[in-house]
Amino acid sequence: MAEPHSRAIRGRLLTFLRAPNGANDPRSYRFFDDGVVLVKDGRIDAAGPAAELTARIAPGTAIDHHGGALIMPGFIDPHIHFPQTQVIASYGAQLLEWLEKYTFVEEQKFADPAHSARNAEFFLDELARNGTTTAVAYCTAHPVSAEAFFAAAHRRNAGMIAGISVMNRNAPSGLLAPGKTAIADSRDLINRWHGTGRQRYAVTPRFAITSTEEQLSALGALLKDFPGVLMQTHLDENLNEIAAIKRLFPDDPSYTAVYRRFGLLGPRSLLGHCIYLEDSEVALLLDTQSVAVFCPTANLFIGSGLFNYGRLKSAGVRIALATDVGGGTSYSMLRTAAEAYKVMQLQGQNFPALAAFDLMTRGNAAALGLEDEIGTVKPGAFADLVVLDACATPAMAHRMEVASTLEEELFVLMTLGDDRAVRQTYIAGRPAL
């Protein structure tokens, strides 16, 4: 007797698995030239070769045929700023000036619930258009911005992680919450949204420059009170930023040590950028199992520097890959992988396509501690999928005429692809486009 499924998704199917020797290990992925994913209650009920599974599809089940396109887990973007959709592509400034001149100005508008709600819808639409099914987002300092974001994501049944950017110094007064209010607001949002449907909370100090010691310490305590909650912040992005940290925290041995002192490092801590890490800081990240988040388009656009992937990887530090819109210049994880490849080339390192796609899906899920529910195509995981067409543009189709392997196709997708290559995005089994 066939089981009832809400949908069957058929096409060329690719997924990644944790392999002993990483992404270059042939055991690190599975590919079916004619595969199918069976969806039940928003989750994957079964996935594998169509020849084996079609018999299980109940009569009347909607079947989406994607022909030659590639079905894979939806992309995960572990560092992005939801209030910066109108900051992206702002000209000519480095980090601290860029924050003051553009970002802090735009972020103040999110005190208005209507503005927050409109931007949340735009942001989530744009993620879906780019095949991103989970993101870890910074909201503004205003609780209403997080409220709007979570409400919109919850309505879509999209698994999102977010938090209000907590600041109490070195930013405009409209974005500063006095210590206790921001902590109380964060706690209230955790109680309301962490674990509501697919939503999760991330305690979010913007960076150590914009919080006093008292506030950082309260955020560390908050993190301790809620063990499942994540933490996101920025670290070692820019030399002027690091100089400011040295002035503000003269007794701490390093920028990373500041976060450690306040209990902000750990396996659920995501640290954006990590460009200028001293050896002792690499050791701290390793020791605490914190995650270094590589944001190549932002690092190039803001002129911050080159993330040393090879160094951190060989040290054993956990690494994730993210867009960092609006310092980053594209919502597309494909474009982000292309820029990561170039940043690595400049340092004599390489980034094979299989490793890139593994990182954007399974690897980023593992960085969030969510490998069992997203970033993979396996029974029990959410049916969050992207369908990619490597022939989406004339230039891609032309290039694909001479591509003969899966790895080549993936490299064409990451080098030439963007939102135009996304044919469909499924969120919990439902088409989002």
Q: Taking the chain, what is the end-to-end CA distance rounded to the nearest angstrom? A: 32
Shortest separation between residue 87's beta carbon and Zn ion, angstroms = 11
Binding window for Zn ion (CB under 5 A); candidates: 37-45, 59-67, 190-198, 271-279: 271-279
In this complex, which beta carbon is closest to Zn ion, that of residue 312 or of residue 322?
322
Rounded Cα–Cα distance for residues 103 and 169 (Å): 16
Q: Which residue is associated with the tokens 């205003």?
A: 142
Task: Report the candidate in 262, 258, 148, 135 with the shortest Cα–Cα distance to residue 202.
Answer: 135
CA distance to 29, 236, 246, 308, 433, per residue, from 272 (Å): 27, 8, 19, 13, 30
User: Whole-number minimum distance, CB 163 to Zn ion, in Å?
Assistant: 13
Q: How many residues bind Zn ion (CB under 5 A)?
A: 2
Residue 236 interacting with Zn ion (CB under 5 A): no
CB-nearer residue toward Zn ion: 73 or 272: 272
Q: How far is the CB of 339 from Zn ion (least distance, A)?
A: 15
- The amino acid present at 390, given as its one-letter code, is A
Name the β-bridge partners of 258.
Answer: none
Q: Note if the bond before 327 is cis, omega within 30 degrees.
A: no
Name the one range near Zn ion by CB under 5 A: 129-137, 163-171, 264-272, 386-394. 264-272
Give the binding range for Zn ion (CB under 5 A) out of 9-17, 180-188, 247-255, 269-277.
269-277
Identity of the residue, 324 or 409, whose beta carbon is nearer to Zn ion in the bound complex: 324
Residue 47, beta-bridge partner list: 37
Q: Minimal distance in Å, beta carbon 233 to Zn ion?
A: 9
**Residue 315 buriedness (CB in 10 A; 0-12 / 13-18 / 19+):** middle
The CB-of-81 to Zn ion minimum distance in angstroms stands at 6
Identify any residues that bridge with 70 across adjacent strands, giving them in sequence order: 12, 388
Comparison of 241 and 384: residue with beta carbon closer to Zn ion:
241
Q: Give the one residue of 324, 358, 384, 409 binding Zn ion; rule: CB under 5 A.
A: 324
Q: State the nearest-atom distance from the C-beta of 49 to Zn ion, in Å.
A: 41
Which residues on adjacent β-strands are paired with residue 245? none
Binding site for Zn ion (CB under 5 A): 272, 324
